[in-house]
Every structure is written in C-alpha cells, then in structure tokens.
Structure 1
Amino acid sequence: MIEVPKRLRIEILDDYQDVVRTLDCFSKLQGHEVRIWNDAVADVNVLAERLAAADVLVLLRERTKVDDALVSRLPNLKLISQNGHVPHIDLAACTRRGVLVASALAQRPSYPTVEFTWGLILAAMRNIPLESDSLRKGVWQSTVGLGLRGRTLGIYGYGRLGSMVAQIGIAFGMELLVWGRKGSLDRARADGLSTASSKQAFFMQSDVLSLHLRLNAETAGLIGPDDLALMKPTALLVNTSRAELIQPGALVAALGKGQPGKAAVDVFEHEPLTDPNNPLLLLPNALCTPHLGYVERDNYEFAYGNAFDQIVAFAQGTPINIHNPDVLKQGALL
C-alpha cells in the first residue's frame, strides 16, 4: 500500500537560481511542507542525509541522478516528480522500492533554446562579448565581425528545433544547408531547403554549423576530428544540444588548430561545470555559456507546473504520467 499523507514533505532539488518560489505554479504546493535546495550535489551520502524524510522529490531535467544507491536510503520516499524524459532515474530500482516516477512527456517546443541558439550565433559572429568587455576597459573597436546575410547556415538534424533555427536563418538572408539522417533530409527537401551531398561537403560548406540532434547510442561521438578539420577557418560551430555528440577532446583540439575558427557552446560533458580551468573555457575562440538554452521563466512555469500538477494528483489519490505503473499494482493509494 502507498500511504499518502495529507501534508507531503516535498524536496525540490537543483534550483540553482532560487527561482522556483517566485513562479506562479509554486502556489500549487500550498499546504505541503516544501524545502528547496539551490546547490548541485552528486554525493549520495550528502543527498541521503538531506532527503531522508522526503515523501516527494522534484527534479528538473537530468540535474540529479537517482539510482538504487540513493532510493534505498530514502525510506519515506513515495514519489519522484518532474517533466520530460527520465534517463537519469533508475526506474527498476524505484519500482522495487515502491516509489512512483511521474513525468509528463508532452513537450512544449523549446522556443527558448531556439532563441538562445541565435543569441550565441550573433554574439560569436560579431564578437559581442569581447567588444563589450573591452569597452568597459576603455578599448574602442578592437575586432571586425562577420555578418550573416549570404552565408551558409548548416543545420545538422532537421527536426522540431532544427527547423525553427533554419527559418530564422532564412529571415537573416542566409543560405540553408541541411544534413542528418534520411528523415531530416526528407523533411528539409519537403520544405524546399537544400541538403548536402555528403557529410564531408556539409562540414566544408557551412559558415555557421548548428547541431540539433538527440543524444543516443547512434549519435554519441558522431562528430570527430576529421569532420571538424574540414570546416573553414572563418566558420562557427554552435552546440546547444549535447556535448557528447562530439568526441571527447575533439573540439578543443580543432579550435586550437583554427578549424573551425570559432565555437559557441552551451553544453558540457559534465554539468554543472565549475572548473575555470576547463580547456574549452580557456580558449579565446570559444564562447561558452552554462547550459542556458532552456533556462527561461515561461519554460520553467511549464516544466515545474507539470511536476507540481503530478504531486497534486498523487495527493488526491489519482496519480498521473506514471512511468512505472507496476508500483500501483502493488496496492491502491491510501
């Protein structure tokens, strides 16, 4: 039996900006005991001590891994609630321990990521961060940037996000070039866009190359040194998808050789990245941001709103968006 207290002890993890309590959707948790953690912790011992009394954990994306080593030390835990996919949660371990995992998969298109991709492109091509910093130091106009009109925008992965990035590129007067699997190429052609004759041609011809691929067994390490070496010394590689799409160390080495000439990166292999001596952060031709693509208030209202709706439904004895329904078969909610 899953006993549901009238007043749940809810722990919200990884609220880096301490923004959750300011969201409109936070009022949905009224009447429950809520504690919010703003730091990033990977140590299981620390997490187990902090969360020992929790009835509910609220996660955001994949910021915290939840496996048997943690779940086994949370005797009161009844529900894990979040929005989106759950590759970081051990569903089998949760099922064995009688812990429900609720996560809505109906996704709002990530408009913030598309907008942020273009923010990075403009900032990198026109050297905006460098020039702004120089101006504060008394230096006037120290570089000459590159415009977008007439240049080739390469879209690697023409899905929902890739297609939106492409449409904005058209508005800037860019030439579009698409590469990816057959589905991507077919969709691009159906939309009247040009597709590359080969992967090699795609990397050679793109002035701005933006990655829009899901990370899975097929795409991990898909881009290697030989691909990057084909890029122009004036080209920009943009990655707002996943760092693991590029083979470890390949981008740092390529930027060191000047092909591509620049990169704009919002994702890293290990997050949060807090080491200022990370090789990528030390490169003057790499514009790096701390995975801000999805970090936007409306997006947070949507994601946390779904997570909180799931808690409300659970408290009412009618759980929704459950990924391990076998837990419910073990007994009805009380």
Structure 2
Amino acid sequence: MKMVIIEPLGVEKDKLLSMAKEALGGRVEIVYHDTKVTGTEELIERGKDAEIIVVSNLPLNENVINGCRNLKLLAVAFTGIDHIAMDACRKNGVTVCNCAGYSTSAVADLVFGMLISLYRNVIPCDRVCREGGTKDGLVGFELEGKKFGVVGTGAIGLRVARIAQAFGCEVLAYSRTVRDVEGVRFVDLKTLLSECDIVSLHTPLNDGTRGLMNRESIGWMKKNAVLINTARGPVVDSDALAEALAEGRIGGACIDVFEKEPPVETDHPLFSAPNIIVTPHVAFATKEALVKRAVIVFDNVAAYLDGTPKNVMG
C-alpha cells in the first residue's frame, strides 16, 4: 500500500519519516514531498497512485479527489476540513480523518500573545524605543477585571477560558452546546458581544458560522472591545470589521486567519485598519504542536490499517 505525504508537515524530514516508520512499520510504502504545490494537475500527479494521502492545509478540490483514483484514506494533518472536497470523498468512499487536539495549547498561547501585544502596545513601543522615544501616548490596559467572551467551547475555547480566568477575567461563553464549566457563564451571542471587553472566536467554519461576525453582530460590540479570530477567516466579515475599526466603533482586533490562506493580497481591507494586529495563520504553528500533529496523523493511519479508523470526519 502506498502512502503519499503530499506536502511538508513542518517537521524535519528525517524525524518525520522516522516517526512514520516507527508507527507504521513496513505496512506502507512512504513517498514524501518536501515542497508545496497548489495546482490541480500537480496534486493529482503526486497522489494518483496512492491509497493513502497525508495533507495539511492544502486545498484538495473535487478534481483532485476524483483524479486520485486509488485513494482510500485521506489523513488530514489539521483540525478543520473545510479545505477538503468532502462531498467528493463521500462519493468515492474515501475515509477522512483529522487531527483534533494537537494545537490546543499553541492556539491559546497566540490568543493571549496577540491580545497582550495589542493591549500593551508592544509593537509601537518597540518601534518608538528604537527611535529614542518614550511611553507617551502608549499607556495600555490590563486584563484583570475585563469581561472575556469565548465563542465556541471546544478544547481550544475552554483552554482560552481557563487562561482568561487565571488573568482575573470574568468569562462569558456562547456555544450551541451549553456546558457546566466552573466560572463560565453561558449566554446568547448578542449578550456576550454587548457585555464583553474581549471576544475570542473558536468555532469551526460551517453554514452556521460563516459570516457570524457581520455588520449587525459587530455592531453589538462595545466601543472599546477587542475581537480576536484564530478560528477560520470567513467567520468574520473583513469589510465590516475594517469599517468598524476605522470608524472607532470597536477598540481593536487580532486576526490570524483570512478568507484564503496566506499570502494575502497587500490591499486587504484589514491591513489599512487601525488598532489591529495580523499574523499569517500561525496559531497552530509551534515546533511542539507540529510534532504532536505528526504523531496523531500516523496513529490515524495505523488505526485505519488495523481496520479500526478513528478521528473520522463525516
């Protein structure tokens, strides 16, 4: 059986292949590609003979799935699967497994790294210090005593909630599933947005969450509120957010994800908005998380080969 790792996974090649061989033994022939390609024909060429394809966040459209005629298992080295043509996978009988959980700590770390950078003016402070300036005009804010809203209470959202509590925040949450979480008050979305000083998004991208933060919902937010998105780009209407920032209707934003994977066009509306920190979809990308991810990927492949697939997506 042939397994193609169709793009690099952020772990050194020798280490990655050693992990694969340790997990899978000699049950598969492993082909590893250490460069990223995005063209449909190039992707088909790489995967056309593979029964198993390992992919991270490369978009695999219907043509790619159909072109990989031997494909039986798609091992996605990512939590979300919105970049995969799932209808084509279902039609072709392809099992799809994801890697939930590998980036929980990494994403939560970036939430607070970006937030504190914005609250304490870390980027402008660095610049002005190098230019011989002072703190004048750069006095920041504390987290203690703020109302912190978490939208989506999966593993990442709950970790963010716990860290927010450690900073002395009052935590509110909104989710389709109300949980009994100590110190967390579950409310409807409008209540959360209208009460919270900080709102952090942790929802998957689906029909119910696409455009969740639009002109109307952003309009419910407090004038000094900060919106953080480390979830999926289309959960937020970028034009509406840029307008709200430009008009001073909210206080700031921290954005790690966009409508497409970086590189993002330099004229993106958020890039000219005030009081915003942007990063190129790095929330999941730590050395530790990428190793955890590889472990889960090869464990998923091993489970499939054993006839007991896990982390299977619908």
Which range, TM-score by smaller chain?
0.7 to 0.9
Q: In structure 2, which of residues 280, 286, 292 is the aligned counterpart of residue 296 of structure 1?
A: 286
Matches of residues 1-334 of structure 1 in structure 2 within 5 Å? 4=1, 8=2, 10-13=4-7, 15=9, 17=10, 19=12, 21-23=14-16, 25-28=19-22, 32-39=29-36, 41=38, 43-52=39-48, 54=50, 56-60=52-56, 63-74=57-68, 77=71, 79-83=73-77, 84=79, 86-90=81-85, 93-94=88-89, 100-103=94-97, 107-108=101-102, 110-141=104-135, 143-181=138-176, 183-184=177-178, 187-188=180-181, 191-196=182-187, 199-311=189-301, 318-321=306-309
Deviation of the 1:271 alpha carbon: 1.0
Q: Mark the CA change 1:21 to 1:38 in structure 2 (over 3 Å): closer, same or farther.
A: farther
Tell me how many residue pairs correspond in the alignment. Answer: 307
Deviation of the 1:248 alpha carbon: 4.8
2: distance between equivalents of 1:157 and 1:243? 15
Higher relative contact order (CA 8 A, sep 6+): 1
Letter paired with 2:42: V
Deviation of the 1:27 alpha carbon: 4.8
Match of 1:281, SS state, is helix
Do the aligned residues in 2 keep the contact of 1:59 with 1:80 (CA within 8 Å)? yes
2: distance between equivalents of 1:108 and 1:173? 27
Do the aligned residues in 2 keep the contact of 1:125 with 1:236 (CA within 8 Å)? no
Any idea what the Cα deviations from partners look like across 1:129-164, whole Å, max 9, x if unmatched? 222233344444351111111222122234433232
Do the aligned residues in 2 keep the contact of 1:179 with 1:199 (CA within 8 Å)? yes
Q: Mark the CA change 1:262 to 1:68 in structure 2 (over 3 Å): closer, same or farther.
A: closer
Match of 1:249, SS state, is helix
2: distance between equivalents of 1:252 and 1:151? 24
Any idea what the Cα deviations from partners look like across 1:226-270, whole Å, max 9, x if unmatched? 332343333211111222222352111111111212100111111
Q: Any runs of at least 4 consecutive aligned residues in structure 1 with deviations exceeding 6 A, and if so which?
A: none
RMSD: 3.3
Query: TM-score, length-normalised on structure 2?
Result: 0.81
Letter paired with 2:169: M
Letter paired with 1:163: L
Do the aligned residues in 2 keep the contact of 1:162 with 1:212 (CA within 8 Å)? yes
Q: Mark the CA change 1:312 to 1:176 in structure 2 (over 3 Å): closer, same or farther.
A: closer
2: distance between equivalents of 1:158 and 1:278? 29
Query: TM-score, length-normalised on structure 1?
Result: 0.77
1: distance between equivalents of 2:133 and 2:37? 37
1: distance between equivalents of 2:167 and 2:52? 47
Match of 1:307, SS state, is helix
Q: Mark the CA change 1:178 to 1:77 in structure 2 (over 3 Å): closer, same or farther.
A: closer
Q: Mark the CA change 1:138 to 1:284 in structure 2 (over 3 Å): closer, same or farther.
A: farther
1: distance between equivalents of 2:183 and 2:302? 46
Greater Cα offset, 106-115 or 293-302: 106-115
Larger Rg: 1
Letter paired with 1:38: T
Match of 2:75, SS state, is strand
Match of 1:187, SS state, is coil
Match of 2:209, SS state, is coil
2: distance between equivalents of 1:227 and 1:313? 43
Q: Mark the CA change 1:178 to 1:233 in structure 2 (over 3 Å): closer, same or farther.
A: same
Q: Which runs of 5+ in 1 are unaligned?
A: 325-334
Q: Mark the CA change 1:231 to 1:19 in structure 2 (over 3 Å): closer, same or farther.
A: farther
